[in-house]
Amino acid sequence: MLNYAVNYISQLESDHSLQDRGEVMARLSTLGLDDFGEFLLSLPNNRFPRLSKILPKMASDQVQRDWTGNAGIPLLKQTLNFVRSLSYNYNRLTGRPLDEAKILDYGCGYGRIARLMYAFVREDSFYGLDPWERSIEICQADGLTQNFLQSDYLPDSLPVGDVKFDLVYAFSVFTHLSERATLAALGAIRKCIKPDGVLTITIRPEEYWQHDTHTSPSAKAELLEKHHLSGFAFCPHKREAIDGDVTYGDTSMTLDWLERMATGWVIRGTDRSLEDPLQRYVFLSPR
């Protein structure tokens, strides 16, 4: 961290009247998103023991790599690019700032993106869902305890009660789902988003299969052909079937397939980051 950030955070550390986590996050966010993210990445931080007790600790490098294949500052850069695109496009499509939104992280993992969203909204305006129990356990053990819940692999609905969201995002989720799981998730999200809300997902282009490490050259050729012919290609991993379907693997899809099959949604725009070139951001609104 640069000295101006250290000096500012030191002031917060020494202000013992500052106890509320939401207020701490709001004060930290005035530094800007990169400094906010870099500080949260450092937690717990021996230089700031009081703030380290208030704020969520960061997942270990091993957890970060196990969930994403990357860790530390390189992973933070990818995440920051996505969050900035999310904020810009949400405002572009709705005319509203992100800090007024009710937000859902669908497939939150260990809370990688969730932590950065606290630069915009308080915890009571944010939900994180993941079907893997271990993800939710890690989130809660690290201090992400409010509104982090386990969902179903093939959801008909989501465990959020009557809450309706302004923004739902799913980063590196639909890049791993079977066709059945993809359509189930899109349908479940559709039930809990506001009529003028925004859904942001990431999808993989056909070039992904050139880089896939799980498949043989002949399988890559078959998957690429499926991508070209139907617009959707899925290579399941060796996982336990859920209701007869292996829901998790590696997936590519086209915008044409998404527009044709996601009948409850309208594609409003796309974006991409060169920090993570094989994920394309897609912004959708309810039809």
Q: What is the pLDDT of residues 152-175, one digit of tens each?
A: 999 999 999 999 999 999 999 999
Structural domains of the chain in order of their starting residue, each with its CATH number: 3-54 (no CATH), 69-286 (3.40.50.150)
pTM of the model: 0.96
pLDDT digits (tens, 9 = 90+) for 109-146: 999 999 999 999 999 999 999 999 999 999 999 999 99
Q: Rounded to whole angstroms, what are the CA distances from 62 to 66, 141, 235, 249?
A: 6, 15, 25, 21
Instruction: Please give the structure tokens belonging to residue 1.
Output: 């961290």
> Which among 233, 267, 239 is positioned nearest to 251, based on CA atoms?
233
Q: How far apart are CA 66 and CA 62, in angstroms?
A: 6
pLDDT digits (tens, 9 = 90+) for 41-82: 999 999 999 999 999 999 999 999 999 999 999 999 999 999
Q: How far apart are CA 171 and CA 105, in angstroms?
A: 8
Q: How confident is the model at residue 213 (pLDDT cuts 50, 70, 90)?
A: confident
- Residue/partner pairs of 90-98 with CB below 8 Å, 24 or more apart: 90/166, 90/167, 90/198, 90/200, 92/269, 93/198, 93/268, 93/269, 93/283, 93/285, 94/166, 94/196, 94/197, 94/198, 96/166, 98/167
Which residues sit opposite 173 in a β-bridge? none
Q: Above pLDDT 90, what percent of the chain?
A: 95
